[in-house]
Structure 1
Amino acid sequence: MFQLTQYQYGSLSILFAAVLWGTTGTVASFAPNISPLAIGAFSMGVGGVIQACLAVRHFGLDVCRLRQHKANIVLSALALAIYPLTFYSSMQLAGVAIGTVISIASAPFFSVLLECLFSKHNMVSRRWLMSLVIGLIGIALLVFSEPSAEAHTTLNSREVGVMLGLLAGLTYAGYSWGAKAMISDGVRSQSAMGIIFGLGAMLLLPTLVFTGDNLFSSVTNILVVSYMALVPMCLGYIAFGFGLRYVKASNANVLTLFEPVVAAALAVIVVGEFIPVLGWIGIVLIMVCLLLQAKG
Structure 2
Amino acid sequence: MIRGALLIALAALLWATTGIVAKFLFTGSELQAVTLGFLRLVVALPFFFALMRREQRALAHRSTPLPTFTRKSLMPLVALGFFQAVYQGSYLLAVDMTGAGIATLIALCLSPVLVAILAAPLLGEKPGLVTILALAAAIAGTAMLVISDMDSAGRLRLGGILVAVLAAFVYAGFTLTSRHTSTGTPVFTTAFICFFTAALILLPVVAFSGGFAGLDSLGPGQWLMVAYIGVVPTCLGYVSFFTGMKTTPATLSSIIVTLEPLFVALLAWVLLGERLGVIGITGALVLTAAVIIASKSSAGNRPDTA
TM range (shorter): 0.7 to 0.9
Please state if 1:115 is matched with 2:119: yes
Q: Does 1:226 align with 2:223?
A: no
Deviation digits for residues 124-178 of structure 1 (CA, Å, limit 9, x no counterpart): 4566555565565445444533454756877xxx35x454334322321222333
**What is the aligned counterpart of 1:18 among 12, 21, 28?**
12
* Number of residue-to-residue matches in the alignment: 281
Q: Please report how far the alpha carbon of residue 226 of structure 1 lies from its aligned counterpart in structure 2 after TM superposition.
A: 0.7
Tell me the CA shift for residue 282 of structure 1. 3.9
- Output the CA distance in 1 between the equivalents of 2:70 and 2:19: 34
| Deviations, residues 93-118 of structure 1 (Å, cap 9, x unaligned) | 56656544443344224423553344
Deviates more, 1:228-237 or 1:60-69: 60-69
Give the structure 2 partner of residue 200 of structure 1: 198
Which residue is equivalent to 2:147?
144
Structure 2 equivalent of residue 260 of structure 1? 261
Question: CA RMSD for the aligned pairs?
Answer: 3.9
* Aligned pair partner of 2:47 in 45, 50, 55: 50
Distance 1:244 1:124, change over 3 A: farther
The match for 1:40 among 37, 40, 46 is 37
Q: CA deviation at 1:84?
A: 1.5
> What SS does the corresponding residue of 1:202 show, helix, strand or coil?
helix
**Gap change, CA 1:129 and 1:162, over 3 Å in 2:** same
8 Å contact 1:24–1:232 — kept in the other structure? yes
Between 258-267 and 61-70, the greater mean CA deviation after superposition:
61-70
Secondary structure of 1:231's aligned partner:
helix
Matching of residues 149-188 of structure 1 within 5 Å: 150=153, 158-159=158-159, 161-182=160-181, 184-188=182-186
Change in CA separation of 1:180 and 1:191 when aligned onto 2, cut-off 3 Å: farther
TM-score (norm. length: structure 2): 0.71
Paired residue secondary structure (2:215): coil
Residues 76 and 129 of structure 1, relative CA distance in 2, 3 Å threshold = same
Structure 1 counterpart of 2:83: 79
Which consecutive residues of structure 1, in runs of 5 or more, have no partner in the other structure? Answer: none
CA contact under 8 A between 1:44 and 1:84: conserved in structure 2? no
2:51 maps to amino acid: L
- Is the alpha carbon distance of 1:66 and 1:195 closer, same or farther for their aligned partners in structure 2, counting shifts above 3 Å? farther
> Which whole-Å CA distance do the structure 2 matches of 1:81 and 1:51 have between them?
16
Rounded Cα–Cα distance in structure 1 between residues aligned with 2:100 and 2:87: 16
Q: 2: distance between equivalents of 1:215 and 1:83?
A: 25
- Cα deviation digits, residues 40-92 of structure 1 (max 9, x gap): 22113432453244213445854237765222112111111111122233444
Which amino acid counterpart does residue 82 of structure 1 have in structure 2?
V
Task: Give yes or no for contact 1:17–1:236 (8 Å, CA) kept in 2.
Answer: yes
